Amino acid sequence: MKLLTLRLAAILLLAPFLFAADAWPGKTQIDPIYPQIESLYEDLHRNPELSLHEVKTAEKMADQLRKIGFEVTTGVGGTGVVGVLKNGPGPTVMIRAELDALPVQEKTGLDYASHVTTKDDQGKEVPVMHACGHDLHMAVGIGTAMLLAQNRDRWHGTFIFVGQPAEERIKGAAAMIKDGLFTRFPRPDFALSLHDTAGLPAGVLGYTPGYALSNSDSVDVTIYGKGAHGSAPQDGVDPIVIAARTILAWQTIISREKSPFDPGVITVGSIHGGTKHNIIPEEVKMELTVRSFTDPVRQHLLDSIARIAKDEADAAGAPKPPRVEVTESAPAVYNDPALTARVAAALKKQFGDGNVVEEKPNMASDDFAEYGRAGVPALQFSLGAVDPAKFEAAKKAGELLPGPHSPFFAPDREPSIRTGIEAETTAVLAVMGK
């Protein structure tokens, strides 16, 4: 009897995986809704909005969800949208789609390209483009919501659509959580999102168990010196020389202070100092991006950056210590291994093993990580977005294709949308399916 009980328990544990892996007729159900989703995608692409200003985009998402039958709340964490669709008792699953675009001038040549310009938060006129595929993510998310509403007999529980603002400024997820995303609404048992990539052809999906995307910290450093005439450096303290020595010393943090088995990156993305050939300035400003996966490595990198900057300034006799400030941060995306295995199995069943591949971790970042940090098992997986023929040609030629944040990035529209809807719906059914 004891052995029978143990076997029954094992079967119950495996049951969700077994039933979730059953393929569903996704392609035939996408056909009737595709024209509407494509129209939505083109509209979103033509009319992008910057982070924290996604007012019209949020309205469009809310309107789509209401028409499907969701209970919709707007203004969550700023311009965030939350749609809730209940279908009896069962797990609660959320998907995240980002609302914001980038200050990039589009150069794709598409007939639905963005020609939008607007003022940024500093009052500067800038172009705006969905250069990271958030328009694709939103359109796919609405398609998934439509199919789930049409297939209530295939799942049970509560489905939540989260339209998140300000992903590009890594602020939106934290703002929505702070505004009660997990208290004002049903707390999810699982969180899912997909992200397009130029690293896979359209029709192919990718997943990474465990750490998938890195911690990201933006660090501003100001080195102070003493101004003087360029012909008499002995009368001043040159912050440009201090900055040069500091930049080189920072690289020893990566090469000598941490284990080579713990990835880390320190990049100085900008350096500004001085106004004229023959003037030693009083300060130099630098902007750094710092990447890591684990919290101990992250803290070590940040502490060492500050330590070395101070020590180099002291060694040069600087008039005061440098200012070191972390201005933006995002934690690493950690894909729950059990959830990843469950969804990957379902995707392979739906698309075939050859179209679902395991990817290496990436040093890019995404504030989708905040949902996992809040204690929700989470998974972000990849959606190939490049025309397969172009992908193979570039691979043979050793060329790098335009990817997210490029003014030339344009997902292969129809196969990317169709695969995205089918994949995201499959992922949701993997954890909510009957």
Q: What is the pLDDT of residue 219?
A: 98
Look at residue 29 and tell me whether its pLDDT is greater than 90.
yes
Q: For the whole model, what pTM was predicted?
A: 0.90
Q: What is the pLDDT of residue 377?
A: 98
Higher model confidence: residue 208 or residue 328?
A: 208
As given in the structure block, the two tokens for residue 2 are 């004891």
Indicate the helix (H) or strand (E) that contains 95.
strand 92-98
Q: Which pLDDT band, with edges at 50, 70 and 90, does 434 fall under?
A: confident
Phi, psi dihedral angles at 134 (to 5 degrees): -65, -30
In angstroms, rounded to a whole number, what is the distance separating the alpha carbons of residues 113 and 27?
Answer: 27
Pair 198, 409: CB distance under 8 Å: yes
In angstroms, rounded to a whole number, what is the distance separating the alpha carbons of residues 49 and 138?
Answer: 13
Average pLDDT over residues 355-361: 98
> Across the beta sheet with 205-207, what order do the strands follow?
71-76, 80-87, 157-164, 92-98, 190-201, 378-386, 205-207, 356-358
Pair 223, 246: CB distance under 8 Å: yes
**Taking Cα atoms as reference points, which of 432, 429, 427, 433 lies closest to residue 192?**
427
E strand residue ranges, 225-322: 228-229, 264-273, 279-280, 283-292
CA 394 to each of CA 131, 149, 198, 329: distance values in angstroms, whole numbers, following the listed order: 20, 40, 11, 34
**Taking Cα atoms as reference points, which of 54, 67, 38 lies closest to residue 97?**
54
Q: For residue 274, count CB atoms less than 10 angstroms from its CB and return exposed for 0-12, middle for 13-18, buried for 19 or more.
A: middle
Q: What is the mean pLDDT of the chain?
A: 94
In angstroms, rounded to a whole number, what is the distance separating the alpha carbons of residues 288 and 424?
Answer: 35
Pure H helices in 166-233: 172-178
Tens-digit pLDDT profile for residues 97-155: 999 999 999 999 999 999 999 999 999 999 999 999 999 999 999 999 999 999 999 99
Look at residue 5 and tell me whether its pLDDT is greater than 60.
no
Tens-digit pLDDT profile for residues 359-413: 999 999 999 999 999 999 999 999 999 999 999 999 999 999 999 999 999 999 9
* Domains parsed from the chain with CATH numbers: 2-214+332-432 (3.40.630.10), 217-329 (3.30.70.360)
Average pLDDT over residues 191-213: 98
